[in-house]
């Protein structure tokens, strides 16, 4: 009985936090995969349309993050509905917008997924930048705290 109690206490002290971290990382990878799928759908639509004009802006969907899964109601956004992006319940907010003005004088397209996964104020942000020729780069990840504002 004493050994079982020690093992149970050890699990709650060490195992439970590790399990939470594993689950958070796993779900974070799922959100990243959704963002990559969104970028694929958008690049195809951009190539079909000959540009981004009808695709930007889109979102944010859901309107804000809560730290819990919520129905993004992506079908309510005309761009997401048009390209068929509706992943259902998500933890992150998905958005398509123009980025900051580049040295070339053009604004790249920014596809992002952002959320406070653990409810602790640390915001994980996945971003894909696309150029005006409908080509997108790789996913980059940024972290910030709610009280720090945007990290760019």
Q: 44-80, pLDDT tens digit by residue?
A: 999 999 999 999 999 999 998 887 889 999 999 999 9
- At 150 the pLDDT is 46
Taking only the tens place, the pLDDT of each residue in 98-141 is 887 777 777 789 999 998 877 777 888 999 999 988 999 999 88
Strand partners, 93: 114
What pLDDT does 152 receive?
41
Of 89 and 146, the one with more pLDDT:
89
| CA distances (Å), origin 23, targets 19, 20, 113 | 6, 5, 18
- Residue boundaries of the structural domains of the chain: 33-148
Specify the residue for token string 């990243």.
32
Answer with the residue of higher pLDDT: 93 or 21.
Answer: 93
Q: What is the pLDDT of residue 16?
A: 46
| Contact (CB, 8 A) for 116 and 90 | no
**Looking at residues 17-35, what average pLDDT do you find?**
68
């Amino acid at each position: 009985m004493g050994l079982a109690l020690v093992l149970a206490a050890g699990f709650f002290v060490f195992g439970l936090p590790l399990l939470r971290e594993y689950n958070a990382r796993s779900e974070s990878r799922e959100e990243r995969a959704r963002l990559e799928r969104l970028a694929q759908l958008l690049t195809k639509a951009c190539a079909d349309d000959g540009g981004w004009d009808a695709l930007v802006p889109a979102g944010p969907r859901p309107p804000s993050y809560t730290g819990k899964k919520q129905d993004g109601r992506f079908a309510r956004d005309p761009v997401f509905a048009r390209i068929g992006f509706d992943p259902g319940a998500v933890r992150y907010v998905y958005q398509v917008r123009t980025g900051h003005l580049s040295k070339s004088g053009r604004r790249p397209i920014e596809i992002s997924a952002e959320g406070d996964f653990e409810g602790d104020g640390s915001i994980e942000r996945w971003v894909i930048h696309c150029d005006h020729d409908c080509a997108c780069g790789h996913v980059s990840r940024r972290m910030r705290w709610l009280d720090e504002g945007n990290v760019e």
